[in-house]
Amino acid sequence: MSNYENLSIDNQEGIVLLTINRPKALNALNGLTLKELDQAFSEDLKNDEQVKAVIITGAGDKSFVAGADIKEFLHIPAGEGGQFAKRGHDIFFAIENFPKPVIAAVNGYALGGGCELAMACHIRVASSKAKFGQPEVNLGILPGYGGTQRLTKLVGRGRAMELILTGDMIDAAEAYRIGLANQVTEPGEEVAKAREIATKIIKKAPLAIAESIKAINACETEGANGYDTECEAFGMLTASADFQEGAAAFIEKRKANFKGV
């Protein structure tokens, strides 16, 4: 595992708690933090067989991630903004397409790039004091790390238009109501709830979890046919040892012992 400066990694029984650790900056996503997220999801966590699930949260009690580091935006050379956004897209795609469940435990502000990071996760658990928003229009830009697309897919075109064009923040209750948050907890209980969900998921067949993530994402992936992806995955899984074990366990009324093969 790499040594990280802005991330804290704690693996407990296969569930990794990944903490964005820049509390003085409200955990804003600067270049180093994005680089370390890329390293974690593209290599370290992905290749570690001991990792079964990942929970992402922010250090401190104020912020999940309060946005990107705007100071760095001011130094983007003219004509290179698109490449800057594309880099963010690639990192967040690595999270979205991670073959193990990734759950955001949103403990405070999830604004701009922080909201986009939460949306790249598979499931979002929010503290009741969490705040969500895409306020980029207040700076003369738009969400550049996939926010225009993921927010639309999660809450619908009309609500995404309103949130992005006004730059307004919403609370956890409203985020839950419109489908942006999956669960809302009392403050301080969001990580425990995320761990509860992760614990339930990792007891299932690992191959089936990975292929389900892939098939669900294919529903909205350009150039992919979600139905074809589902059929291919179903065919592969029915030939797996895990399916034989799962079916036998069901018939024999016992707990399945999945091996991930």
Whether residue 95 is found in the same domain as residue 168: yes
Q: Is residue 142 in some structural domain?
A: yes
Q: In which residue are the tokens 């760095």 written?
A: 72
pLDDT tops 80 at residue 14:
yes
Task: State residue 237's pLDDT score.
Answer: 95
Q: Is residue 1 in some structural domain?
A: no
Domain that holds residue 231: 206-252
Whether residue 143 is found in the same domain as residue 223: no
pLDDT tops 80 at residue 223:
no
Task: State residue 94's pLDDT score.
Answer: 97
Whether residue 51 is found in the same domain as residue 135: yes
Q: Domain boundary at 160, 175, 201, which?
A: 201
pLDDT tens readout for residues 58-107: 999 999 999 887 777 777 787 788 888 899 999 999 999 999 999 999 99
Q: Domain boundary at 201, 219, 239, which?
A: 201
| Stretch 228-254: mean pLDDT | 94
Whether residue 242 is found in the same domain as residue 170: no
State the catalytic residue, choosing from 96, 116, 190, 211: 116
pLDDT tops 90 at residue 178:
yes
Task: State residue 2's pLDDT score.
Answer: 78
pLDDT tens readout for residues 186-196: 999 999 999 99
Q: Is residue 259 in some structural domain?
A: no
Among 181, 171, 178, 168, which Cα is nearest to 135's? 168
Q: Is residue 165 in some structural domain?
A: yes
Whether residue 176 is found in the same domain as residue 58: yes
245 is annotated as an active-site residue: no
Whether residue 77 is found in the same domain as residue 161: yes
pLDDT tops 80 at residue 1:
no
pLDDT tops 80 at residue 221:
no
Q: Is residue 162 in some structural domain?
A: yes
| Stretch 33-52: mean pLDDT | 96
pLDDT tops 90 at residue 253:
yes
Whether residue 88 is found in the same domain as residue 180: yes
pLDDT tens readout for residues 180-216: 999 999 999 999 999 999 999 999 999 999 999 999 9
Whether residue 132 is found in the same domain as residue 159: yes
- Average pLDDT in the chain: 95
Q: Is residue 149 in some structural domain?
A: yes
pLDDT tops 80 at residue 222:
no
Cα(59)–Cα(39) distance, integer angstroms: 19
Q: Is residue 2 in some structural domain?
A: no
What residues pair up with 171 in beta bridges, in sequence order? 131
Domain count for the chain, please give it: 2
Q: Is residue 247 in some structural domain?
A: yes
pLDDT tens readout for residues 155-165: 999 999 999 99
Whether residue 215 is found in the same domain as residue 197: no
Q: Domain boundary at 185, 201, 217, which?
A: 201
| Kind plus residue range of the DSSP H or E element containing 15 | strand 15-20
Whether residue 215 is found in the same domain as residue 195: no
* Cβ–Cβ under 8 Å, residues 206 and 258: yes
| Kind plus residue range of the DSSP H or E element containing 103 | strand 102-106
pLDDT tops 90 at residue 238:
yes
Whether residue 42 is found in the same domain as residue 155: yes
Task: State residue 204's pLDDT score.
Answer: 96
What amino acid occupies position 152?
A: T
State the catalytic residue, choosing from 136, 186, 245, 252: 136
What are residue 149's phi and psi, to 5 degrees? -90, -50
Q: What is the CATH number of the domain that holds 84?
A: 3.90.226.10
Task: State residue 225's pLDDT score.
Answer: 87
Whether residue 138 is found in the same domain as residue 85: yes
136 is annotated as an active-site residue: yes
Cα(59)–Cα(51) distance, integer angstroms: 21
